[in-house]
Amino acid sequence: MKIGLIVYSKTGNTYEVSQKLEKNLSEAGHSVNIERIEIDDENQRDLSKIRVKSPPGISKYEAIIFGAPVNAFSLCPEMTVYMSQLPTLKGKKIACFVTKGLPLAGTGGNQAISKMKNLCESKGGSVSGTGIVIWNKDRDKQITNMADEFNKLF
């Protein structure tokens, strides 16, 4: 299956996870392409002023995995802006994951995933797999488990 791994990553953590997912999914026989979202001004926090540079297109993919960090107990604004501008997601297989720093429950992981799901649904898509990677807690095991789950979907 042709899979697009579309990620936003400010400090590299989410990108690193996407590279591990790429390796795992490629080994399972998929054709995987990572596309990293870039922003005009990385310091811009005002949603209405965030501009995505050459937003990655999705039409060439049968399946898409969106990945982003948690910011301020929710989805980071950069991914929110990118996903809000997507065309229809009808007919695509979709999974979403986030990375986060805080290990405690209630610190934004589920909130961010819900937001990603809602954004996908608002574009006619439905999310069949999700994952949350807590950065400083058995990270490799969490990533392997998530890759195994995503492999079952595609």
Ligand X SMILES: Cc1cc2nc3c(=O)[nH]c(=O)nc-3n(C[C@H](O)[C@H](O)[C@H](O)COP(=O)(O)O)c2cc1C
Q: Which is nearer to ligand X, 9 or 92 (CB)?
A: 9
**The token pair that represents 125 in the structure block:** 């898509």
What is the smallest separation between the CB atom of 75 and ligand X, expressed in angstroms? 10
Are β-strands 52-53 and 38-39 bridged in parallel, bridged antiparallel, or unpaired?
antiparallel
CB of 136 to ligand X, least distance (A): 9
Cβ 87 to ligand X shortest distance, Å: 25
Q: Provide the binding-site residues for ligand X, judged by CB under 6 A.
A: 9-15, 69-73, 99-102, 107-108, 135
The CA distance from 143 to 19, in Å, is: 11
Contacts for 81 with CB less than 8 Å, ≥ 6 apart: 47, 50, 51, 52
Strand partners, 71: 74
Nearer to ligand X by Cβ, of 24 and 71: the residue is: 71
Q: Considering the complex, what minimum distance in angstroms separates the CB of residue 17 from ligand X?
A: 8
What is the rounded radius of gyration, in angstroms, for the C-alpha atoms of the chain? 14
Tell the smallest beta-carbon distance from residue 77 to ligand X (Å).
Answer: 9
**The two structure tokens encoding residue 12:** 């590299």
Place of tokens 């009808």: 90
Query: With respect to ligand X, which residue has the nearer C-beta, 10 or 117?
Result: 10
Alpha-helical (H) ranges within the chain are 13-27, 77-84, 109-122, 139-153
* Cβ distance to ligand X smaller for residue 79 or 119: 79
